[in-house]
Amino acid sequence: KFEAEKIIYISCNPTTQARDTEVLLQKGYELKRLTLVDMFPHTPHIETVGIFQKN
């Protein structure tokens, strides 16, 4: 059951975030913003932050 009006999703794995984004979209959420954060400069690792709002 999804009752939250807003979800802030932080991930270090873009593949699983993409998978989970599909689920959230199907549950009536809209992706309002997606940001990449480079917390580990000079490495291939990134963090992603997605903000989802319930329609």
Q: Which tens digits make up the pLDDT trace of 1-53?
A: 768 999 999 999 989 999 999 999 999 999 999 999 999 999 999 999 999 99
Q: Rounded to whole angstroms, what are the CA distances from 38 to 22, 46, 50?
A: 24, 5, 15
- Output the pLDDT for position 3: 87
Total of domains in the chain:
1
- Look at residue 1 and tell me if it is in a domain: no
Dihedral sign, CA of 23, 24, 27, 28? negative
pTM: 0.85
- Look at residue 38 and tell me if it is in a domain: yes
> Which residues are annotated as catalytic?
12
Identity of the amino acid at 34: L
32: containing domain:
6-54
Rounded Cα distance between 51 and 15, Å, is 17
Tokens 């999804």: give the residue: 2
Rounded Cα distance between 18 and 23, Å, is 9
